[in-house]
Structure 1
């Protein structure tokens, strides 16, 4: 049984660093291929618009800003013979690394993120793996420390907010994303009462203002069963 080790900043790679063959010799061949596959997917898909997204702008508006600031890092990990408790311990180490890494405050800190790439995780295991890991970590980490975590893999069933027929979480190599919570996350939580309650506790007044701003753009006062609004309101 392997013993989890505390991750260090030497395991974190910016996308542009993976293009440097002289530096990439520090990685095992399987690790390098996995990181480069995810980096290519981010650069060619995630940061670009898509006709099926249901809105304008890149697939993830967060990522281009993170890349511009050199605040999105990739890290290789292997599942191997690790059990669930060991994997959770490894990811908690990345959470501690994330928390201590610069920047720790200000606007730039909002765009800090770590992508932990599981370079030896077979696709047929990915759904169950992420389900187990996130059941242990996702909500406690969000409630206590404001981490948002999500699993990405080739057959991920997750859909876009504005188009349920579009699946933007289908990465070529399985990975787990961790980033800071932001007020706009309510869009991901709206259909889950427990998560929405956690979001409301975290953001309080700023959350109420964000929802109000969104509602002002929508015809929410109009009842769908009436041609004109009722007079007795």
Structure 2
């Protein structure tokens, strides 16, 4: 969607309030679509910016935007001390509809690198095919304006990092000890971690020796 910058920002913020902070019948659990958005808004740690892009930007250009986001995220003076609520959202007005899938390509290209830095990147746009972790039929990341979101990796991210050895290695390095001590609040997290450990863990354990 090609929206003027100020209008795109208003659309994004309305989407946060009307969608992300509310429950949804298809999300597969109780609570809001994104449990962190409303607390981050209240804490003043949801930083939303508008970075207009050229309609003909390519995947490489979007990857450069992700690098710019990472630099911005790392150097920001965050108000709150709760790192899990620190989030940078960049709205990208000007991105042509036929180029929306390039956001998915940029996300895929950067995910492993960012995971090893302890960061999570999300892409949102009107044609996004990302599915809810607890309901694979629900395309949870469809938004009225294209945007990227960057935040610190959190404990629940096993739901998004268990299907790839590189992603899982980054996650396990940060949170594996909690699984070894049994400090896991959600059975699904334990199930996904155990599955990934069976699939990727033996090879990674050898590498750690």
The equivalent position to 1:94 in structure 2, one of 43, 49, 69, is 69
Cα distance in 2 between the residues matched to 1:140 and 1:87: 15
Q: Which residue does the alignment assign to 2:7?
A: 33
Q: Alpha carbons of 1:131 and 1:186: their partners in 2 closer, same or farther (altered >3 Å)? A: same
SS state of the match for residue 163, structure 2?
coil
Unmatched runs of 5 consecutive residues or more in structure 2: 192-209
Counterpart-to-counterpart distance in 2, 1:125 and 1:86? 12
What TM-score do you get using the length of structure 1 for normalisation? Answer: 0.71
1:126 equivalent to 2:83? Answer no
The match for 1:142 is 115
Identify the match of residue 178 of structure 2 among 202, 206, 224. 206
Distance 2:66 2:49 in 1: 11
Q: Render the CA deviation track for 1:170-205: whole Å, top value 9, x for unaligned.
A: 000111110111111001223334322321123231
SS at 1:157 equivalent: coil
- Alignment partner, residue 222 of structure 1: none
Decide which structure has the larger Cα Rg and report it. Answer: 1
The answer on 1:112 being equivalent to 2:81 is no
Of 164, 182, 185, which aligns to 2:157? Answer: 185
Name 1:15's counterpart in structure 2. none
Alignment of 1:30-109 (within 5 A): 30-80=4-54, 82-103=57-78, 106-107=81-82, 109=83
- Give the Cα separation in 1 of the matches to 2:98 and 2:26: 26
Quick one: which of 166, 177, 185 aligns to 1:194? 166
Distance 1:32 1:217, change over 3 A: closer
Cα distance in 2, alignment partners of residues 191 and 65 from structure 1: 29
Distance 1:49 1:208 in 2: 32
Cα RMSD for the two superposed structures: 2.6
State the TM-score, normalized to the length of structure 2.
0.79
SS in 2 for 1:64: helix
Q: CA deviation at 1:135?
A: 3.4
What pairs up with 1:8-27 in 2 under 5 angstroms?
none
Distance 1:139 1:95 in 2: 14
Residue matched to 2:197: none
CA shift for structure 1 position 138: 1.9
Residues matched between the structures, number: 188
Classify the secondary structure of the residue corresponding to 1:121. Answer: coil
